[in-house]
Structure 1
Amino acid sequence: MASNRKDEAPRQPQRSVGVRFRRLGHMTDDATVGERIAYYRRRKGMTQEVLAGLLGRSTEWLSQFERGARDLDRLSTIVAVADALGVEPVRLLPTHFTARPRQLRDSVIGTAPDTVPAIKSAMLRYDGLAGLLGVLDRAPVDVDELRRRTGFAFECSQTERWSTLGPLLPDLIADGWHAAHTTSGQQQRRGFGLLSLIWRVTSGMLDRIGEPDLPWIAAERDLAAAERSEQPLLVAGAAWRLAVVLRHAGRVSESTDLPVSAADALRPDVERSPQHASVYGALMLKGAVGAATSGDHTTVRDYLAECDRAAALTGERNDFWFAFGPTNVAIHRVWLATEMGDAVDAIDQAQHVDTTALPDHLSERRASHLITVGWAHHLRRHDDEALAALTAARAAAPEQLLFTKRVRSMLNQMLRRDRRGRRDLREMAGFVGVA
């Protein structure tokens, strides 16, 4: 039967996301890196040909990212594009995650973003406007109990249980502040040491769930508290956390120089204790990460040699919750290979990593490694192997998949090229929240 066309609304031509952004004059939080590039390119009045030329790439290469045919994941490339556009790299990166509740046996995961307002309020009151607003009356802080609670917070971090950790942080921040600011002498220095660790774990969680500014604030407070604790290893640990935040903000040079400078300060004492070697090795791993992002293969090799030297002194340890040891160095070798664009080498390196050496409370390291292995297979278009790696990562630390942008990118691409209608792939995508 012929349709009554005069009653039908006229069909609207399809518009690219970039055109929609240009018409609306703003960009949604869930825009991809490619969509953000298109948005800022148009705002600058650049054609694809001009931007691609500035990058030394083809127009088709750029077009693939802007229209979503490929995902732009390498930070070094994102930084180069941002420089060509004259914007800060962070403007091209996806913003914070939203809550995605998932029932998991006897608990609910994926709710960590819902705890951010309470954490932000605690950050504002304590060390923010404490002098103006005053602080709420609290019972005297039991420092030993606070140390236990801080340790549990790091256990949540190292097992990627962010929805368990989030509700605990406001009270931890408050009690840490009181332990540091209502005491004196040695007890106060210990209080500042705990407060430093509390700010570090807070920064780590906020960073994981994609908050744009709060991780940096918490990392700066970590460093300030560590300095007042007069514990050099805590100061070095705070430098490590700030380096992570700087990298995620696209500040590649600073994120490399900071941990290496801190490691240089520790180098004369690296054999003094396993703790010194652990922190030194963790800092050098961060230096290697920055060098890899900059494409400096020689420096990566040199820094890894220092990591091997430190790992030989420590064995498998978890000093200051850095999980440093031979296994973590091996895990980083796989990641570094993918960052430098060598998926084949990454897959080969992964054959030599034995994550069974890691205890259960370091499941974040195991899951992170499996995600990297999955990414390497994904780059080789080995989607079956990539999905198998993600499935194993989900078993190790399910909430890590919900708050890892690379996982979402991987699943988006795998869904686009799926020709078999794989149920297991679509189930995984549904779990992560990828349409």
Structure 2
Amino acid sequence: MTDDVPFGARLKTARLRAGMTRPVLAGQVGKSAEWLKSVENGRLLPPRLPLLLQLAEVLGISNLADLTGDERLSTATFGKAAHEQLPEIERALASYPVVPSTDPIDVPGLVAQVKQAWELWHGTRNHRSAVATLIPGLLHDARVMVRRVDGAERRAVLAAQAQTYHLTQLYLSFQPKPELVTLTGDRAMTAAQDADNPQAMAAAAWYVNHVFRDAGQQHEARVQLAHDTASLLRPDRDRGDLVMYGLLHLAMALSHAKVGHDGDAWRHWDVADRAAMALPTGYSHPWLIFGRGMVDAYAITMLVDLMKPGDAARQADQLHLGSMASATRRAFHTIEMARAFHQNREPVAAVHLLRKAEQHSTETARFNLFTRAAVSDLAENGGATVRDDARELSQRLGLNLP
């Protein structure tokens, strides 16, 4: 858009591109549909920074200047923050090793290293920093090795390569490089398809859904991808297929909830719920973490997206994340619980949960857009105790609040 396009028109265009109605978008930022209509029509002034950040997060906008027209308001400053090792990851993705390797071929070794990287991602508070040192080498080794093997070994390398791209995509999430998130999602799906492995394709479809759902794009396409990939699985015969089948229906549920399709959302959540119930008690997938706890936790995300903050807060009160086998996931779902209470106008509970999320995983909280927007909002608009707690948390997260 040109610089002279008013804020309201920019906001309306972004909302329509995301496939959201006014009630859906307004509800997700705690406002009414009439308020949003007045902003879009120019009858109200643009909101202040904390609410701008929330709108950008819901709409999947990576640069506030795209929403405001003001280049001074970049989400690199106020929203998405760049991890210190992001340049190394960029270089690794842009590197294409062409010199033939003479190193010994060790497919089991590569698979073991990828497994170790996932354990670091889920098991450390500073998970981005932990895996950033491993990702460049894993990307290089998988690219080199896949050209030197064939048959079952090649399929194993391709599956490991897809997992490495998934991990890279997660590293890049909430970073100011949305084009790289899309790139890694596409490369992961290509590797999974080349491996001719339905479970690898299902994992790739799960992450592709995240890419477009977070960007507020391609609702029909991402749901269709998950549906088509689920049809390749045999959940009644294989536990791995059952996990992936449930995961893909959870992806479809989240996509429908994001655009306000209540009935479709819960229909697919019920399928994911039945899949989780069919798994052994306490089971969770080793790197996707699908299981009973994950399905229950994502119900909160859906309720918030469907503008049911009271139901979301009640669900959050009943959720116990202590047994979830991932510090990163515990932090993320605790932030989603905070989002429920923030939407329900319970700032004390919201700031308490955000502090708890930071204790689970510092980097999950530090780079999460809702956390950054909510801390800014609570530091400005909360009561005295809430403001103090929010400002203390902002310092721990390295935010530069005015």
Q: TM-score, normalised on structure 1? A: 0.75
Task: Classify the secondary structure of the residue corresponding to 2:134.
Answer: helix
Corresponding residue SS for 1:356: coil
- Residues 179 and 192 in structure 1, CA contact (< 8 A), matched pair in contact too: no
183 and 86 in structure 1: CA distance in 2 versus 1, 3 angstrom threshold: same
The aligned counterpart of 1:114 is 84
Give 1:396 deviation, angstroms.
1.1
Q: What corresponds to 2:313 in structure 1?
A: 347
8 Å CA contact 1:141–1:175 kept in 2: the answer is no
Ranges in structure 2 where 5+ consecutive residues have no aligned partner: 17-21, 23-32
Q: Distance in 2 between matches of 1:284 and 1:196?
A: 21
Within 5 Å, give how 1:188-337 maps onto structure 2: 188-253=154-219, 254-266=221-233, 269-315=234-280, 316-319=282-285, 321-337=287-303
Bigger relative contact order, structure 1 or 2 (CA pairs below 8 A, ≥6 apart): 2
**Compared with structure 1, are the counterparts of its residues 143 and 418 closer, same or farther at alpha carbon in structure 2 (3 Å cutoff)?**
same
Q: Where do residues 391-410 of structure 1 align in structure 2 (5 Å cutoff)?
A: 391-410=355-374
2:104 counterpart of 1:140: yes
Cα distance, 1:252 vs structure 2: 4.2
1:252-294 superposed Cα distances (whole Å, 9 cap, x missing partner): 413333223322332xx11112111111111111111110011
User: Structure 2 CA distance, aligned partners of 1:232 and 1:51?
Assistant: 39
1:14: which partner in 2?
none
Q: Distance in 2 between matches of 1:49 and 1:137?
A: 54
Any conservation in 2 of the 1:263–1:280 contact (CA below 8 Å)?
yes
SS at match of 2:318: coil
Q: Secondary structure at the match of 1:357?
A: coil
Equivalent pair of 2:10/2:67 in contact (CA under 8 Å):
no
1:164 equivalent in structure 2? 130
Identity of aligned residues (%): 23
The aligned counterpart of 1:43 is 3
Paired residue for 2:398?
A: 433
* 1:197 shift after superposition: 1.1
Structure 1's 407 and 76: CA in aligned 2 closer, same or farther, altered over 3 A?
closer
Unaligned runs of 5+ in 1: 1-39, 100-112
Q: CA deviation at 1:138?
A: 6.0
1:382 is aligned with what amino acid? E
**C-alpha displacement of 1:322:** 1.5
Q: How many residues align?
A: 365
Give the secondary-structure state (helix, strand or coil) at the position aligned to 1:381: coil
Shift of the 199–138 alpha-carbon distance from structure 1 to 2, 3 Å rule, reads farther
Cα distance in 2 for partners of 1:193, 1:322 equals 14
SS class of match (2:271): helix
Cα distance change, pair 150–64 in 1 and its aligned pair in 2 (3 A): farther
Q: Counterparts of 1:385 and 1:216 in 2: how far apart (Å)?
A: 35
CA-CA distance at 1:140 after TM superposition? 2.1
Give the distance between the partners of 2:354 and 2:268, measured in 1 at CA. Answer: 29
Q: Give the 3 Å change call, closer, same or farther, for CA 151–318 of structure 1 in structure 2.
A: farther
1:175 maps to 2:135: no
Partners of 2:56 and 2:67 within 8 A in 1:
no
2:380 is aligned with 1:420: no
Q: How does 1:13-28 map to 2 (within 5 A)?
A: none
Q: Is the 8 A contact 2:158 2:191 kept in 1?
A: yes
Q: CA deviation at 1:229?
A: 1.6
Q: CA deviation at 1:73?
A: 3.4
RMSD over equivalenced CA pairs, Å: 3.1
Go from structure 1 to structure 2 and tell me whether the alpha carbon gap of 1:344 and 1:324 turns closer, same or farther (over 3 Å shift): same
Task: Report how far residue 349 of structure 1 moved.
Answer: 1.0
Distance 2:60 2:88 in 1: 33
Distance in 2 between residues matched to 1:61 and 1:246, nearest whole Å = 26
Native 8 Å contact 2:300 2:337 kept in 1: yes
Question: How far apart, CA to CA, are the structure 2 residues paired with 1:423 and 1:304?
Answer: 38
Q: d(CA) in 1 for partners of 2:369 and 2:58?
A: 16
Is residue 2:54 matched to residue 1:73? yes
Distance 1:76 1:142 in 2: 42
Tell me the alpha carbon deviations over residues 281-327 of structure 1, each in whole angstroms, 9 at most, x when there is no partner: 11111111110011111001100110111112224434362111111
* Structure 2 CA distance for aligned equivalents of residues 146 and 350 of structure 1: 39
Residue-by-residue CA offset, 1:48-73 (whole Å, 9 max, x unaligned): 49977996744654546543363463
Distance (whole Å) between structure 2 residues aligned to residue 64 and residue 307 of structure 1: 43
Q: How much has 1:77 moved relative to structure 2? A: 6.8
Q: CA deviation at 1:169?
A: 0.7
Distance change >3 Å, CA 407–CA 136, structure 1 → 2? farther
Give the secondary structure class of the aligned counterpart of 1:43: coil
- 1:45 & 1:149 partners in 2: Cα distance? 50
CA 1:65 to 1:197, structure 2 compared with 1: closer, same or farther past 3 Å? same
CA 1:98–1:163: 2 relative to 1, 3 Å: same
Tell me how far apart the structure 1 counterparts of residues 392 and 57 of structure 2 sit (CA, whole Å): 32
Q: Aligned partners of 1:86, 1:287: CA distance in 2, in Å? A: 28
How far does residue 207 in structure 1 lie from its aligned partner after superposition? 2.0
Amino acid at match of 1:368: F
2:150 aligns with 184
Amino acid at match of 1:433: G
In 1, distance between residues paired with 2:47 and 2:129? 33
Provide closer, same or farther for how the CA distance between residues 44 and 303 of structure 1 changes in structure 2, counting only shifts above 3 A: farther
The answer as to whether partners of 1:271 and 1:313 remain within 8 angstroms in 2 is no
Deviation for aligned residue 1:425: 2.3
- Tell me the residue number matched to 1:12: none
Amino acid at match of 1:264: S
SS at match of 1:314: coil
